[in-house]
Structure formats: structure tokens, C-alpha cells
Structure 1
């Protein structure tokens, strides 16, 4: 990791319950850094919202932790909470339909898989917890993209239209936009062979108490399993369990 980043992050450790505010002089003494170096690192943290600065005097400044850390803390807490709540339902769903179950969340401009339950079939999908993929690749990521705030969704699509990855991934942006509209209308997403060959994924949204989509519950397996009556059973079960997880996350339809 970049040494400047490490030094900057270590400065945050000096802010405690006992010392919620520190001056530049305090931090220089505790960190044993040159004043100019400490000031540069603190300025970077302030610029990104990790610290808030107020003028102490003509020669010094006072710092306290910024709102950005609270936002990140809430984000981590939400991830821990949804994993804890969703895991038993995911295990029950996997037992009922015998397919791989994933839990994915939007993470900035990508999707991250934060939980997984394997099926008992011989075929295993080697998706690791923590794997990050683009929001246009797979049923779970696409569902998350479809339900993002419109401003953020438009920004991601605009950046995608200017990216060279668009050509290599053979993405038709107009088709993608239409697909996102379909996902919003029908309330679930489907992908075929987008992340793994000969596999199909179906994902349903998980809502919080604000009726916001906070995660995607994804079912994945061989495409041959996602046909006829079995497809109807998979969709019914995945929809039902996604709704149960949502209810346990505080979601109410009324």
C-alpha cells in the first residue's frame, strides 16, 4: 500500500473518545512527523471528508473526525446486519431449490458479493465472498444498477459509454438501458452466461425500511435447471425468501 496513504490513515487513530479534537501541533508530536508532512496528510483527509478543521490560532489548526467516517461506519454496519439476517434464509432457499445463492450489494460503481451458500450439486460456482464485478454483469449487479438512484445510474451509464471496456465487453448501451427498465417493471432480473458459461442467474431485490433496494438475492446454476416448472419453482422461492429478508430488514409494503 502507498506509504502516504498508510501514514494518513494512522493519523485517524489518534482521535479517541478522550481526545476527540487535536491540533496540528498535537498530531505532529504524537506521530513524530515533520509539521509540513502532517499538515499535508491532514489536508488530504479534510478534503475527502474524513476530518473537519477549525482555526485554532494564526499558527495552528484544530481537527476532529468528519462525517465521512460516520457514513462508512453505517455502511459497514448495514452490511454486517444484512449478512446476519439473510444467511439463514439463504440456507433455507438453497436447501429448497438446491442452487447456489448469493447476496450482492452496490459498492460505489461496482457490485460486491458479501455472502454465499453453495448447492449440493457436483457443479460449483467459484464466486468468492468479496468478489467485485461491474454493475452491468450478471443478474445481481444489473438488478442493483436498475434500482440505483437515477442520478447515480445515469452517471454510471455515461461513464460506461465513454469507457474502452464497453467495446471489449460487447455491451450495447441502448439494450442495457431497456433491460434496466424491464427489471424495474417486473421486479427481478435474469442473466444467461454473463459471468459463467452455461449458467443462468435470477435475482430479486431486498428492501430496507425506507423501501430502498439495499441488496440483491441471486440464484445461480446450470441453465438447464432454469426451465419449465423448475424455473417457476425457483422464481417463486427466490421471490418469497427475498421478501422475508426484506421484512426482517424493516421493510413494509404499506
Structure 2
């Protein structure tokens, strides 16, 4: 555990009180830290954008919360809204098809499963909220990779390394490029036994008011159940993704 990081982040709590700007002396009094230690921590928070420093005079230097916190707060707010909007429709979709329904978003170079509704089948795939996945594995992560802004997608692909989990796992960039192009042409993503043997995954994009893809709505289950009704599952998943997108403000034409 990094004590310096914890001390620095704890300083932000002082700005949640009534005063929105604080001097070094005021923060020192609240934190019981020496001024040299405090100055070092505040400088780190300033460099990373968590605090902004205003220097009125040599003696009058004040700190206030930085724009980075607003950016992070907006991201958290959007994710909470996404989950709030998506969950009822995910539950309905799960009731209709009786297979696991996932909500998957980007987090840096990975995909993260942020919501899940489980089927009532005795045989289930092991997934969990918080699970992280490489972007070349599975229908949801591949879909998010396909709809990334081009510059970001290129940067992610350049440093991507491949690990073979099953015989069907994509193992090189050429194959992945082809897969990305197919996903964008057809408007959805599908995977066959890429993470686990004898499984199928189907994903459709969720878009918000900015008309960008913010998540993947993903269905996954064993071949034995999904293969015969894959077209029905695909249709209903597409409809659910569209409904979620419309509630997030995507234009009605979607």
C-alpha cells in the first residue's frame, strides 16, 4: 500500500467542506502534516490535474479542485446512468432468452464487465461483474475495439500481445483486423469458443446521445442451447441494445 498516494488523495476531502479554496497553512492545519511534506503532495495533485493552484501574491497562494475530478466525475456519472438504464432491459432480455446478459465497457486497453443478469439454467458460464478481458477475445471486447476512434484503435493494436486460450482464440493482428472490419460491416459481433470451449457470444453496440458506442450488450451461453435459436437471440439482443441507446439519448433513427 502506497502511503503517500493515500495521504495525497485524502487531502481532496478537505475541499468538500464549505470553503472551496484553501491556503497551504489551512490545509496543513487540517491535515497535521508538515509544510514540506504537504507541499510535495499538493504539487503531485496539481501536476496530475486533481488540484489547481492560484497565486494571487507571493504570500497568497490558494488551491482548489482541478478539472480532472470533473472529467472523472462525468465518467462515473455516465457509467451509473448506463447501468441504471440498461439493467431493466437486460432483465427483460434474459427472461425472453434465458441466457446470461452482460454489459461491457472499455477501460483503457481492456474490456470490463460492469453488469450481469444470469439465466436460471443449471449449467452456466463463469463470468462476474468486474471481470476484465483483452480486446481480441470474445464478442463484447471485439465489438468495443471495432468501434474505437481510429487513432486510439491503432495505438491499442500496435502494442497488443496475443495469448491463445482456446483453438478459436484470435492469435494475430491480421486476423483481428479482418474481424474488426466484419463487425463494422454487419453491425454486431459474434464469437465461437474464443474464451471458453463450446460457447457462443453475441454482442450489439449501445450508443449514447453523442452517437458514439459506449458499451456492448452481450449474450453468452453454451453451443448446445444457443446454436438452434441464434437468430432469435441475435434479433432480441439487437432490439434491447437499440432500446437502451434510445433511452441514453441516441437519435430515434437508430
Specify the TM-score bucket, using the shorter chain as the normaliser: over 0.9
Match of 1:166 in 2: 162
Match of 2:194 in 1: 194
**Matches of 1:69 and 1:119, distance apart in 2:** 38
Match of 2:149 in 1: 149
Pairing of 1:1-254 with structure 2 (within 5 A): 1-16=1-16, 18-58=18-58, 61-160=61-160, 165-166=161-162, 171-228=171-228, 230-254=229-253
Offset of residue 123 of structure 1: 1.2
> Residue deviations 1:32-75, cap 9 Å, x none?
11212111111111111111112243356321111111111111
More deviation in 56-65 or 134-143? 56-65
Offset of residue 247 of structure 1: 0.8
TM-score scaled by length of structure 1: 0.92
**Matches of 2:45 and 2:221, distance apart in 1:** 44
Q: Is the 8 A contact 2:49 2:68 kept in 1?
A: yes
Q: Is the 8 A contact 1:192 1:198 kept in 2?
A: yes
More deviation in 108-117 or 50-59? 50-59
Offset of residue 173 of structure 1: 0.9
TM-score scaled by length of structure 2: 0.92
> Residue deviations 1:113-145, cap 9 Å, x none?
111011111112221111122222211111111
Q: Is the 8 A contact 1:139 1:202 kept in 2?
A: yes
SS of aligned partner of 2:14:
coil
SS of aligned partner of 2:159:
helix
* Gap runs ≥5 in structure 1: none
Structure 1 segments, 4+ long, off by >4 Å, are: 167-170
SS of aligned partner of 1:226:
helix
Instruction: Tell me how large the CA RMSD over aligned residues is.
Output: 1.7
Q: Is the 8 A contact 1:24 1:60 kept in 2?
A: no
* Gap runs ≥5 in structure 2: none
More deviation in 73-82 or 211-220? 73-82
